Amino acid sequence: MAKHKTHYEDCDVLVVGGGMAGTGATFEARHWGRDMKIICVEKANIDRSGAVAQGLYAINCYMGMQWGENQPEDHVRYARNDLMGMVREDLGYDMARHVDSTVHMFDEWGLPMMKNEKTGRYLREGKWQIMIHGESYKPIVAEAAKKSADKIYNRIMITHLLMDEAQENRVGGAVGFNMRTGDYHVFRSKTVIVAAGGASHIFKPRAVGEGMGRTWYAPWSNGSAYALPIAVGAKMTQMENRIVLCRFKDGYGPVGAYFLHLKTYTQNANGENYEKKWYDQTKELVGEYIDHHPTPTCLRNHAFIQETIAGGGPIHMVTTEAFQDPHLETVGWENFLGMTVGQAVVWASQNIDPKYTNPELTTSEPYVMGSHATCSGAWVSGPEDLSPPEYFWGYNRMLTIDGLFGAGDTVGGSAHKFSSGSFTEGRLAAKAAVKYINDQKAESIKVTDKQCEDFKEAIFKPLETYTVAQNEITGGTVSPSYISPIQGLQRLQRIMDEYVGGIATNYMTNGNMLKRALELLAWLEEDLEKVGAEDLHQLMRAWELKHRALTSQCVTEHTMFREETRWPGYYYRGDHMKLDDDNWHCLTVSRRDPKTGKFSLEKVPVYHIVDENEKRKAS
């Protein structure tokens, strides 16, 4: 262990992950905590990290309140509808009422926004989306964070949270290692804001082998946002609510601008509008939800999946009409150049010019995240002025661990935040964290050297395992005494794919399959004690895998608990194929006991705050 030098840092606010939520949190922490020590720790390099690393072409969450375009209530209704009723409306409203101010700052900071020349308004792609030339989006928000933090640490992966040994259930910081130097880093902190993004690669991706890195969600998003809090016993919510995306095939290029701005549409291989064919069947499953406008994302997926199973594929996006207009053709290509260059390359390699050939669509493998059209994540306190008592315990966006906050993909129950909403949620969490410190809630935290030394040993163990066990390699990479990160990852992905509702089964699972998955995941957990890492990069892979595996356990437990099919098109419980509002119009909340590793689950009421308030006002 002596070869891994230990560095200690004591601070007030520690931000884990410098993506959209993390940069927002770092920036806002400085605003409220002028004299505080604020540190942001990032696994990659903050200038180009997270889901927005490559840039974006649209900011997907902007109300436009200054022009009376939308109000926060409208956004709550929209998210509620899209998630089949299951959102934390207090969190959604709170984000929506602040998100415009975030976007206006992006504008001030130099993000090139597309504007309507006549009205001066931001150019809309859809009801909630505004268009940007967003290749520089991430460096711009990173600069705001860099100017605000006392220090940004790049290339450090946080592996564990530290817990206070003086007061139960209070956070004390976090630890991790530098993936370039191999040094060990201890951050003792009064508060921690986890903003470490969502989870890709827990389900087997469609692109395997050489194409393994080709996923829709960032391949480096490995579920740390969930594993860190789960490991210390924080409550999680809606972890069953994984997302499946309809995207351009192979490159995972986004379809939003195509549907909304270019007005393209989909059809099956025979040129038919297949969605209406599945209306009656979907109504059987979900009742009147299929009549909602706009059609919930999962239900549109459902029609796609059913049509493909019935042999109507491939499904195409009709681009050949829109692309005859030179302006729309330019927008279509620029959409990819600003955020998913790979899709343009894939089309070029497959001889697809969307002006003359309608490109194929696909449904992705499932992802776990809290900021897109889905809301898996941590169970957090809402804001004081909005939240019912069950949703409020003192500090906005604080998890069920004192001093531990979350934002962006980390936070469950609040869907459709996207990039701007995640940055906004980071700001809200940071404001609350500073207040927590000012309220003297973080006094006398005790983190012993023993706790830090124990974690150090655990973190570097895969290097030791490899050093010893490599002598037993009999051929290639096969050793009887250790498992490599890639072997472990592929095993995890198959378990999730085949038993928990991945692409292998057309997103189908049931109680028996989930039971088997939990068994297999428990054995994997045992074997991951023997994961071996031949260098620091593989050490990162080993810890990414451990975080993915823990996240997967939680997803599987939640999927088992919710005995209904709430979101057909995201996944199906074959033994409970129908949406069941009588029994399951509720949020699911889990907690893993850190001592035993056992999960317990409960139902928590879902409060429809927006329209209830209106009803109350009217009566």
Ligand X SMILES: Cc1cc2nc3c(=O)[nH]c(=O)nc-3n(C[C@H](O)[C@H](O)[C@H](O)COP(=O)(O)OP(=O)(O)OC[C@H]3O[C@@H](n4cnc5c(N)ncnc54)[C@H](O)[C@@H]3O)c2cc1C
> Torsion over CA of 341, 489, 568 and 511, rounded to 10 degrees?
180
Write the burial class of residue 165 (CB in 10 Å: 0-12 exposed, 13-18 middle, 19+ buried).
middle
Side chain identity at 431, as an amino acid letter? K
- Among the listed ranges 215-223, 271-279, 513-521, 530-538, the one in contact with ligand X (CB under 6 A) is 215-223
Task: Assess 196 for contact with ligand X (CB under 6 A).
Answer: yes
State how far the Cα of 103 lies from the Cα of 497, in Å rounded to an integer.
Answer: 38
Question: Residue 278 pairs with which residues in a beta bridge?
Answer: none
In whole angstroms, the minimum distance from the beta carbon of 137 to ligand X comes to 9
Give the integer Cα–Cα distance in Å for 568 and 300: 9
In whole angstroms, how close is the CB of 529 to ligand X at the nearest point?
20
Identify which of residues 132 and 318 has a Cβ nearer to ligand X in the complex.
Answer: 132
Buried b (16+ CB within 10 A) or exposed e, 246-259: bbbbbbbbbbebbb
Q: Is 565 in the site for ligand X (CB under 6 A)?
A: no
Q: Does 195 bind ligand X (CB under 6 A)?
A: yes
With contacts defined by CB under 6 A, name the span among 55-63, 438-446, 554-562, 579-587 that binds ligand X.
Answer: 55-63
Stretch that binds ligand X, among 27-35, 47-55, 111-119, 596-604 (CB under 6 A): 47-55
> Residue 9 or 563: which CB sits closer to ligand X?
9
Asked if 59 is part of the footprint of ligand X (rule: CB under 6 A), the reply reads: yes
* HSE-CB of 464 using CA atoms within 13 angstroms: 11
Distant-in-sequence, close-in-space partners of 129: CB < 8 Å, separation ≥ 6: 58, 59, 60, 61, 62, 256, 260
CA atoms of 606 and 301, how far apart (whole Å): 25
Contacts of 90 (CB under 8 A, 6+ apart): 382, 383, 386, 387, 388, 391, 392, 607, 609
The label of the residue with tokens 């809606």 reads 238
Residue number with CB closer to ligand X (426 or 502): 426
* Helix orientation angle between 341-349 and 326-337, rounded to the nearest 10 degrees: 110
- Residue 296 CB contacts under 8 Å (≥ 6 apart), including other chains: 81, 82, 83, 84, 289, 567
Cβ nearer to ligand X, comparing 371 with 396: 371
> Which range of residues in 56-64, 76-84, 432-440, 486-494 is near ligand X by CB under 6 A?
56-64
91 binds ligand X (CB under 6 A): no
- Here the tokens at position 50 are 């997270």
The one among 38, 39, 40, 52 contacting ligand X by CB under 6 A:
52
Is 125 near ligand X (CB under 6 A)? no
What's the closest the beta carbon of residue 616 comes to ligand X, in angstroms? 33
Beta strands in 195-327 (DSSP E): 236-237, 246-248, 265-267, 316-318
- Nearer to ligand X (CB atom), residue 187 or residue 482: 187
Helix, strand, coil content of the chain in percent (nearest 5): 40, 20, 40
Closest among 6, 447, 3, 443 to 186, alpha carbons compared? 6
Stretch that binds ligand X, among 19-27, 96-104, 178-186, 460-468 (CB under 6 A): 19-27
Closer of 433 and 579 to ligand X (Cβ):
433
303 near ligand X, judged by CB under 6 A: no
The residue number with the shortest CB distance to ligand X is: 19
Find the shortest distance in angstroms from Cβ 410 to ligand X: 6
Q: Shortest CA distance to 91 belongs to which of 425, 427, 405?
A: 425
**Cα 389 to Cα 501: distance, rounded to the nearest angstrom:** 35
Please list every residue from 452 through 511 that binds ligand X, using CB under 6 A: none
Residue ranges of alpha helices (H) inside 210-278 are 224-231, 256-260
In the complex, the smallest distance separating the C-beta of residue 280 from ligand X, rounded to whole angstroms, is 33
* Cβ closest to ligand X, residue 43 vs residue 566: 43
Least distance from C-beta 59 to ligand X, angstroms?
A: 5
22 binds ligand X (CB under 6 A): yes
Task: Note whether 232 binds ligand X by CB under 6 A.
Answer: no
Binding of ligand X at residue 96 (CB under 6 A)? Answer: no
Beta pairing partners, 508:
572
Reported in sequence order, the residue ranges of 421-530 that DSSP labels E, i.e. its strands, are 508-509
Q: Both ends of the chain: CA-CA distance in Å?
A: 68
- List the interface residues with ligand X, window 396-455 (CB under 6 A): 408-409, 418-420, 422
Q: Is 216 in the site for ligand X (CB under 6 A)?
A: yes
For the bound state, the minimum distance from the C-beta of residue 51 to ligand X, rounded and expressed in Å, comes to 3
Q: Does 58 bind ligand X (CB under 6 A)?
A: yes
Binding ligand X (rule: CB under 6 A), the pick from 254, 354, 377, 403 is: 254
Instruction: Map the footprint of ligand X across residues 352-391, applying CB under 6 A.
Output: 371-372
Which of 39, 40, 60, 149 touches ligand X (CB under 6 A)? Answer: 60
CB closer to ligand X out of 199 and 606:
199
Q: Is 16 in the site for ligand X (CB under 6 A)?
A: yes
Among 111, 161, 218, 587, binds ligand X (CB under 6 A): 218
217 sits near ligand X (criterion: CB under 6 A): yes
- Cα–Cα distance for residue pair 456/453, rounded to 1 Å: 5
Q: Which of 14, 33, 39, 43 binds ligand X (CB under 6 A)?
A: 43
- Which two three-digit tokens encode residue 443? 């006094």
Does the protein bind ligand X through residue 38 (CB under 6 A)? no
Residue position matching structure tokens 């169970």: 379
> Does residue number 568 form part of the binding site for ligand X (CB under 6 A)?
no
85 forms part of the interface with ligand X (CB under 6 A): no
**Strand 171-178 versus strand 130-134 pairing type:** unpaired
Q: Is 224 in the site for ligand X (CB under 6 A)?
A: yes
Residues that bind ligand X (CB under 6 A): 16-22, 41-44, 49-52, 56-60, 157-158, 195-197, 216-218, 220-221, 224, 254, 371-372, 408-409, 418-420, 422
